[in-house]
Amino acid sequence: MDKNKKIIIAFFLFGIIVVIFVLWFLFKNTPEEDVVPKKIDNYTEDTGKDTYQIKDNKVYYREADNLRQIEEADIESFQILDNNYAKDKNNVYFKNVIIEEAEASTFTVIDELYCKDAVKVFCSNISVYKKEIKEADAQTFEKIQGDFYKDKDNIFRKCHISRIPNLDVDTFSVIDKKTVKDKNGKYNLNDY
């Protein structure tokens, strides 16, 4: 074989190796958030995030690398609402704990702080774990803006009725992170 043919074959083989390396590098470095977990029968692949998983016809909650079975879960009616909440025909779950007071058939998640059913509103923050907000009207309870919520009678913030006295629900609005207002005036949140 003459020298020119050997050089051409060498460049051709080198080109194939470069293409294989580039493809390997591209697929190896695909961001995790772009990879959709596969669902195989009744198993949700471990994504490394805190979430519900169904494996071998059993429901689990994965948190901080611990997989805890939710023995009470009814697999046939189980619905994942978000990474923290789920429900089935009998219960509502916050992670792997049943929210005893919640009605499963009407339960909805508002956001990471509040959830409700047809009758009760629940709140959870670092100091309060799934507390029922007894003053809240579930039928009219909604998020306004930022960390403010309202029902037909009250403004709520951080799992409590707002400390600003006599706020007018109908005219209440958030100006910025430190200021709110209603028909009676403006209020600096640092004062309350």
pLDDT in tens, 135-192: 999 999 999 988 899 999 999 998 889 989 889 999 999 999 899 999 999 999 988 8
- pLDDT of residue 29 exceeding 60, the answer is no
- Sequence-separated (6 or more) residues with CB below 8 Å from residue 109: 81, 82, 85, 115
| Residue with more model confidence, 15 or 47 | 15
pLDDT at residue 34, as a whole number: 41
Look up residue 131 and give its amino acid: K
What is the token pair recorded at 153?
Answer: 């009678």
Average pLDDT over residues 108-137: 87
Tokens 């519900």 found at: 52
Average pLDDT over residues 100-125: 92
Domain boundaries, the chain: 3-30, 32-80, 99-192
The answer to whether the beta carbons of residues 143 and 112 sit under 8 Å apart is: no
- pLDDT of residue 40 exceeding 80, the answer is no
- Top mean-pLDDT range of 24-33, 47-56, 136-145: 136-145
Distance of alpha carbon 53 from alpha carbon 73, whole angstroms? 12
